[in-house]
Structures are given as structure tokens and as C-alpha cells.
């Protein structure tokens, strides 16, 4: 295996939506993100295509703990006793005790939880390597630099490995080279200020290739980051304008979705359907609305005197 290999997890039998990346560390295989438990058969099939199996995996490098990135981690560790997972310190407790995370997701997905995501098993804290970001890890013969990159989630990490930068969700959704990158902004942790700071840090990383969980790879170049920031600001402004005008969230969501899908259709006719499945616009609106509502509440709060 030469260089990172991308595995298509074929989420809900749809290709090109969720990816995991495989690295040969010299101390077994590392997976950058593992997807949900519902896609574990596709992960195993992808490893088999590379002449490997789940038993060869020793390291799970998790960018963050959302179900589409880390849902299968506990199941994999149960099946592979010598493996361990790497996670940011602000996400570790949720992997050890995922009940709250699953309950929160259940409020959104309801009866579809099992079909979409499958189970999320708890992980023994002793099998978690808890990271702050900025450390240098020696994983077998491979040097891994985790980078703390909040904005999409407070517990988000990117991983710099040689010429590759694995950007999770903070690097945006880019389903096709023709597609302008878009920021996935679901609740509850969206923070535009820290997202901009993360972009500023990542664009200066000495890497050749960006690897996206949703979906694929692209050159590490300023054009990607400039476009991501432009669409992030555009999407955020659309939601803010609707809120300031007193529009109901349903109306904001309907207009946001129509405008977004029209823009994607201009880039490639098949993009709207794929994007809507990979990154539901209504969830992005909810996250941005929560961000702006919290910002307004902070601005309105009385300042302490002293």
C-alpha cells in the first residue's frame, strides 16, 4: 500500500458520500475516520480490496465524534483488541459514554436512527489516546500531527501526515472537483470565528493534498480555502438576514435550500441530489440559526460593572 487509500463507505448504498482513509503505519493500519456502524460492511469490503482486513487495523484517527465519522469506533475496538482510538480531549467522554450523543441524534432522526447509523458502542477510556492538538505522534514509522481545528465542532481535529492533510468536516464538503466547497454547519457547535481561525491555520500547512470525509481529495491550494470561506460567509449571511427580517425558520430553510441547490446545479447537474443527501441543507440552517441566536443573546446580555 503506497500512500493513503480512500475507502468509499457507500452510505445507504449511495457512493461518494462518506469516506474513510487507510494508512500503512508500519505498526498495522490506521483509519482516518471510520464512518457509522451501518457502513462497517463496506469498510471491511474496502479493506479486503486492499488485501487487508479489520484485524490489521491498529489505530483509529478520529477527526471528531459525529456519527458519520466515529460511530463504528467502539464496534471496531471490540472486534480488534489491539487497536485504539485517537480523539480530541473535548470529545473523549462522549466516546466512553455515548448515550447522550445518541439521544441527541435520536431527537433528529427518530425511528430512522438504526437504519442510518447503527449502534455506537462505548469505548474503554484506557483504549483512547486523548489529544489536545499540536502534539507530534509517532505511529509505527509514521509521524502524525493532530491539529485542533474547531468551528464545525468544538472537538474537531485535522491530521497532517506527510504530504497529506485530512481535514474532516472543517475543510468543507466537496463531492466533485467541479463543486465549490461548502461548510457543513449542523448544530450545536458551529462557530464562525473559530472556523475562520482553523482555515487560516490549515491553509498554511505544508501538504500537497487535502482529503475530505465528504468526499475525496483535492490539491492543497489557496483557491480551495478562499472558496470555502466565501460560501461559509454567504450561507451565514442568508440565515442571518432571514432571522433579522423576522422570518420563520421554515421560510428561511426553504429559500436557503432552493438557492443552494440552484448554485450547485450550475456546477454539475447531478450535484443537488447528492449534496442534499450528504449534507442536508435544513441541518446547516439549524446550526447557523443557533449560532446567530446565541450571538444575539450575548450581545443583549448586560455587561458586568467592575
Tell me the C-alpha distance between 110 and 105, whole Å: 8
- Is the pLDDT reported for residue 306 higher than 80? no
Place of cell 473523549: 92
- DSSP letter, residue 254: H
Q: What's the full length of the chain, in residues? A: 306
The answer to whether residues 147 and 158 touch, using CB atoms and an 8 Å cutoff, is yes
List alpha helices for 81-221, DSSP H: 92-96, 99-109, 113-117, 192-202
Q: Tell me the per-residue pLDDT of 250-297, one tens digit each, with 9 for 90 and over.
A: 999 999 999 999 999 999 999 999 999 999 999 999 999 999 999 998
For 135, the 3-state DSSP assignment is: coil
Q: Tell me the per-residue pLDDT of 180-198, one tens digit each, with 9 for 90 and over.
A: 999 999 999 999 999 999 9
Express the helix, strand and coil content of the chain in percent, nearest 5 each: 45, 20, 35
Architecture of domain 5-228: 4-Layer Sandwich (3.60)
Question: Which triple of cell numbers denotes residue 207?
Answer: 501538504
What is the average per-residue pLDDT within 115-138?
A: 95
**pLDDT score recorded for residue 106:** 81
Residue 258: how many other CB atoms lie within 10 Å = 11
**pLDDT score recorded for residue 304:** 54
Residue 248: how many other CB atoms lie within 10 Å = 10
**pLDDT score recorded for residue 62:** 98
- Is the pLDDT reported for residue 303 higher than 70? no
The answer to whether residues 235 and 279 touch, using CB atoms and an 8 Å cutoff, is no
The burial of 250, by beta-carbon neighbours within 10 Å (0-12 exposed, 13-18 middle, 19 or more buried), is given as exposed
The answer to whether residues 85 and 159 touch, using CB atoms and an 8 Å cutoff, is no
- DSSP letter, residue 60: E
Tell me the C-alpha distance between 238 and 183, whole Å: 14
The answer to whether residues 62 and 70 touch, using CB atoms and an 8 Å cutoff, is yes
Tell me the C-alpha distance between 31 and 22, whole Å: 5
Confidence of residue 26 (pLDDT cuts 50, 70, 90): very high
**pLDDT score recorded for residue 305:** 52
% of residues, the chain, pLDDT over 70: 98
Mean of all residue pLDDT scores within the chain: 95
**pLDDT score recorded for residue 114:** 82
Up-side HSE of residue 297: CA atoms within 13 Å toward CB? 6
Tell me the C-alpha distance between 257 and 260, whole Å: 5
**pLDDT score recorded for residue 300:** 84
For residues 77-107, one letter each, b for 16 or more C-beta atoms within 10 angstroms of the residue's C-beta and e for the rest, the string is beebeebbbbbbebbbbbbbebeebbeebee
Task: Report how far Cα 41 is from the mean position of its chain's Cα atoms.
Answer: 20
Indicate the domain borders of the chain.
5-228, 230-298
Q: Tell me the per-residue pLDDT of 131-152, one tens digit each, with 9 for 90 and over.
A: 999 999 999 999 999 999 999 9
- Is the pLDDT reported for residue 163 higher than 70? yes
Place of cell 466547497: 181
Amino acid at each position: 500500500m503506497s500512500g493513503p487509500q480512500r475507502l468509499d463507505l457507500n452510505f445507504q448504498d449511495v457512493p461518494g458520500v462518506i469516506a474513510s482513509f487507510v494508512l500503512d503505519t508500519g505498526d498495522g493500519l490506521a483509519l482516518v475516520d471510520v464512518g457509522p456502524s451501518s457502513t462497517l460492511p463496506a469498510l471491511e469490503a474496502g479493506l479486503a480490496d486492499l488485501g487487508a482486513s479489520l484485524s490489521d487495523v491498529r489505530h483509529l484517527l478520529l477527526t471528531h465524534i459525529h456519527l458519520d465519522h466515529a460511530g463504528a469506533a467502539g464496534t471496531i475496538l471490540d472486534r480488534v483488541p489491539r487497536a485504539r482510538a485517537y480523539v480530541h480531549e473535548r470529545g473523549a467522554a462522549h466516546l466512553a459514554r455515548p448515550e447522550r450523543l445518541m439521544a441527541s441524534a435520536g431527537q433528529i432522526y427518530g425511528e430512522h436512527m438504526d437504519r442510518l447509523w447503527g449502534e455506537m458502542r462505548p469505548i474503554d477510556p484506557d483504549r483512547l489516546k486523548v489529544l489536545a492538538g499540536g502534539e507530534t505522534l509517532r505511529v509505527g514509522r509514521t509521524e502524525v500531527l493532530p491539529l485542533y481545528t474547531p468551528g464545525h465542532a468544538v472537538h474537531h481535529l485535522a491530521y497532517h501526515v506527510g504530504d497529506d492533510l485530512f481535514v474532516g468536516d472543517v475543510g468543507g464538503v466537496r463531492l466533485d472537483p467541479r463543486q465549490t466547497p461548502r461548510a457543513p454547519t449542523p448544530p450545536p457547535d458551529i462557530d464562525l470565528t473559530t472556523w475562520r481561525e482553523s482555515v487560516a491555520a490549515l491553509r498554511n500547512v505544508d501538504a500537497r493534498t487535502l482529503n475530505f470525509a465528504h468526499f475525496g481529495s483535492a490539491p492543497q491550494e489557496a483557491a480551495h480555502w478562499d472558496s470555502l470561506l466565501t460560501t461559509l460567509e454567504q450561507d451565514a449571511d442568508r440565515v442571518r438576514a432571514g432571522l433579522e427580517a423576522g422570518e420563520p425558520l421554515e421560510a428561511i430553510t426553504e429559500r436557503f435550500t432552493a438557492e443552494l441547490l440552484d448554485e450547485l446545479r450550475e456546477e454539475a447537474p447531478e450535484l443537488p441530489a447528492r449534496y442534499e443527501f450528504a449534507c442536508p441543507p435544513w441541518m446547516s440552517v439549524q446550526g447557523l440559526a443557533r449560532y446567530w441566536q446565541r450571538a444575539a443573546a450575548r450581545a443583549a446580555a448586560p455587561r458586568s460593572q467592575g
